[in-house]
Structure 1
């Protein structure tokens, strides 16, 4: 057991460290930004009242539990702290279970006295320990900022227990699916679904008379994110909902261990689709193989993009009602939109989320190249007339086209939403300009992730996702958290063109295009001389 834990810590200490530090940094920066932007009780009451006037916006925020400083900080950042813990945990669980099995490491360990189940137990201990450290740092960041100690420790605990719940989800998914790619896709869909279920339960809740508190409806109890929020840090400080995530995660971990002991190595409980006797003519091209490997995830990201486009335009039709009730939510939207007009603010905010989705989709495609290399399945392709540069270029091309597909799905859905709401020509223009702008922002991550893949292949996954995470924190939450303007400009999402009156402020467009071109060219040029790094 000790040897297995040491091997796991040595193998992915950097990835886990980045996730933990990013989560703790969000907790600290969230407190600083929220207290600076909404320093008075009246400011916070106004924001809560405005958000409750628009339940759909509340789906993407936390659970209102009052207007004190701590309660408002929890409302703003607790969902994202638990989201980061969940993402870290699912990737960790799949990487050390199905991922090791695909790479052949599990079979070697099973031939030792460790047998088949001890590695799963080691993964459980590893995942729990990582989340305990994450929860501890979150609690210290909040308590060190001056918030009440009891609520801060509870916020740290629910962040950790939510992560532990998703350790269990990831382990079970790894037993069900035959590939790590399939297991990761399943866990991400579960994560998104449970996040939305919790949001629906909050949005359908009953507000208090003073419009500072929501009593959620029953769907929140179907979601680990709901359990975390029902603990209500800095309000009632209920510890028992926090235990639900811990119990749920450990129960699923036991189930995963039992499933591991009864299935064949390399197989999954979800049967693979039977393959064709003869390959289609289209698969004779190496790039077609990349499309075949990425098709399922691309469809999922495109559906997410379409949902973002619909929300952006449907919510835009509610802005007039919200501004008449309270102007505080307008201040939030315009701040996040970089000072854009009210008509464009909602589209800008949601299309920033679209850029993040498109970047994630592109990074996932480039990471597939690293997975194929690490698993040894890239070698048969490179043994043909396909050279290394052409092989990497195919992944980069598919990643770039994936961005176009995701953005196009959002823009098409946005146009439908605008037509349904009798949107003005300015709204159509905003959708077009903002959507096209996100192409450049997301494209940055294709070139940079490919460059990391060439220079530091073993760090491709960790660095690729970490860059998207940091860009999201700075670009989307930087203005809300009151971070310095220069930090926002570090993010591609924070310097995309915006509409200003009758014109368009290009801002950092040319810099984004230059980074895309230079990083992509450098990656392809350096790939010519790089040797394969097949071990994970």
Structure 2
């Protein structure tokens, strides 16, 4: 196949930094999770009690894996395997779009297709690139788990299951990139497939049949329609059954067959599904830079707000469950108190979930800034700037939309939390202060990610997307998982979401509020000032 090896080498070189971050970060999460599990759930009695609580409260199973026993390895799989698979899925999904639909949008696919390489070699190189990336992920995850002292067979099963989820979602997103016309739609399709199938797997586990000792569940049928359900049913460190991974391989084969067939039969830049027709006349709102930025980002903002609403509901609805579990397992109480820095267990539940809410708000803000970069790369920013819109006003519009998006996400979380309190048999309205203060703190934390990403966009535009998302991932790992992994307090406090204002007992702790506010003002102001002298940087 002419040009296959040079095209593969080009993809590996272009993605070297991004894939290294994804793969090493996922493997590190696997290894560090063992430290957290042994530190927080050191005895089999503790692990069995938590599994019994999860079986008795199916909502927990929506966000965890499949209970397969109270052994260290099996319990680790219950806690972390779905998230390892999710990271592999996102890595592979973005890779599929980046080297197919995005290449067509930017005109590079047409140039390559006009050479002796043709149209099939680039797609074949992309497939090989994704398979190699997931094999590397499988090897590093396996080595990370082996380094903890856990058994080899369970480590290999975990690594292969993580990689299998990655290649399955790669094939599904690759097919979606053939069906839709834009990279934005293809990425959205990939993300929604990951989210929906994750929830389906959790619902299937929640509807499953528990064992007599309540430490193991046989999945319901709904879990078997999801790649997450397939990889969880490998049950690492329990039965170590690799047979369900054949379903992931089947999806890979079928997805690739359909993608190659569609690639060979369609025009470059074309798609099987037509785009929705636009309006004959633009709305009045599109007459301003702010209106255009909002029109381009409103769908994403709505999606993050829905996620915030669900997170808020869980924050208060699960407080009673957390109180019950903590009564039975002292280590859980110690962990939640560490995350909340004091206060009641109900307050701890709100703080934990609102920390997650802060991550969602940060994602919303970063995505809005990255949208400005995408407009610049695609060449659609230049016509806007050629009109009566200056560079500073143009960037300012995206920063305003980012700020509105993160506020909307947190506000939706507050509404969900208050609705959750109202739905309890005995509403505890004293949590309202915790909800309001913690929500305000997380807005400040998300604002820091917004400001830093804006500065990166102005100074080093070509790394805006990878750096912006990497900062959010690091902030999440330190702020949300740092106490679980036993990181020193100074390292946890590096994350803005970990030092945001909160409530402990009857007092409000401002913590890093002043510094967060200064960082937001300085970062946003600096980005706007520097934008005055910055030229367009359309090349990727």
Category of TM-score, reference length = shorter chain: over 0.9
Equivalent residue for 1:419, pick from 418, 422, 429: 422
Q: What is the aligned partner in structure 2 of residue 283 from structure 1?
A: 286
Would you say 1:522 and 2:497 are equivalent positions? no
2:538 alignment partner in structure 1: 534
Structure 2 vs 1, CA of residues 66 and 336 (structure 1 numbering), >3 Å: closer, same or farther?
A: farther
Greater displacement, 512-521 / 158-167: 512-521
Moved more, 68-77 or 184-193: 68-77
The alpha carbon displacement at 1:18 in A equals 0.6
Question: Counterparts of 2:508 and 2:184 in 1: how far apart (Å)?
Answer: 40
1:404 pairs with 2:418: no
Q: Gaps spanning 5+ residues in structure 2: where?
A: none
Give 1:382's match in structure 2, choosing from 365, 368, 385: 385
Corresponding position: 1:498 with 2:534: no
SS in 2 for 1:473: helix
Task: Specify whether residues 203 and 329 from structure 1 end up closer, same or farther in structure 2 by C-alpha distance, changes over 3 A only.
Answer: farther
Name the counterpart of 1:450: 454
- Residue 89 of structure 2 is aligned with which of 78, 86, 91? 86
The residue aligned with 1:207 is: 210
1:243 aligns with 2:246: yes
| 1:51 Cα deviation after fit | 2.5
- Does residue 137 (structure 1) correspond to residue 156 (structure 2)? The answer is no
Which residue is equivalent to 1:253? 256
Q: Larger deviation: 509-518 or 94-103?
A: 509-518
* 1:56-455 alignment runs, 5 A limit: 56-319=59-322, 321-322=324-325, 329-421=332-424, 422-455=426-459
Distance in 1 (alpha carbons) for counterparts of 2:13 and 2:295: 33
Q: Deviations over 1:350-400 (max 9, x none)?
A: 211111111111111111111111111111111122222221111111101
Q: TM-score, normalised by structure 1?
A: 0.96
SS for the counterpart of 1:425 is: coil
Residue in structure 2 matched with residue 489 of structure 1 by the alignment: 493
Moved more, 24-33 or 114-123: 114-123
Counterpart of 2:472 (choices 456, 468, 471) is 468
Q: Could you say what secondary structure the match of 1:240 adopts?
A: coil
Provide the secondary structure at the position in 1 that maps to 2:271: coil
User: Aligned residues, how many?
Assistant: 536
- Say which SS state the counterpart of residue 503 (structure 2) adopts: strand
Q: Whole-Å Cα distance in 2 between the matches of residues 11 and 384 of structure 1? A: 34
Bigger mean CA deviation after superposition, 221-230 or 250-259: 250-259
1:459-494: CA deviation from partner (whole Å, max 9, x where unpaired): 111111111111111111111122222221121121
Give SS of 1:499's match.
strand
Shift in Å, 1:97:
0.9
CA offset digits 1:187-246 (Å, max 9, x no partner): 111111111111111122222222222222111111111111100111111011123223
- Supply the distance in 2 between the matched residues of 1:9 and 1:320 (Cα, whole angstroms): 49
Deviation at residue 281 of structure 1 after TM alignment: 1.6
SS at match of 2:318: helix
Q: How many Å separate the matches in 2 of 1:381 and 1:187?
A: 29
CA RMSD of aligned residues (A): 1.7
Distance 1:142 1:324, change over 3 A: closer
Whether the 8 Å CA contact 2:347–2:504 is kept in 1: the answer is: no
Q: CA separation in 1, counterparts of 2:517 and 2:154?
A: 45
1:37/1:509 CA distance change after superposition, 3 Å: same
| Paired residue secondary structure (1:519) | helix
**Alignment partners' CA distance in 1, 2:366 and 2:93:** 17
Q: Report the Cα offset of residue 177 of structure 1.
A: 1.8
C-alpha separation between the residues in 2 aligned to 1:244 and 1:409? Answer: 37
- State the partner residue of 1:7: 10
| Structure 1 contact 47–328 (Cα < 8 Å) conserved | no
The match for 1:40 is 43
- Identify unmatched segments of 5+ residues in structure 1: none
Provide closer, same or farther for how the CA distance between residues 261 and 8 of structure 1 changes in structure 2, counting only shifts above 3 A.
same
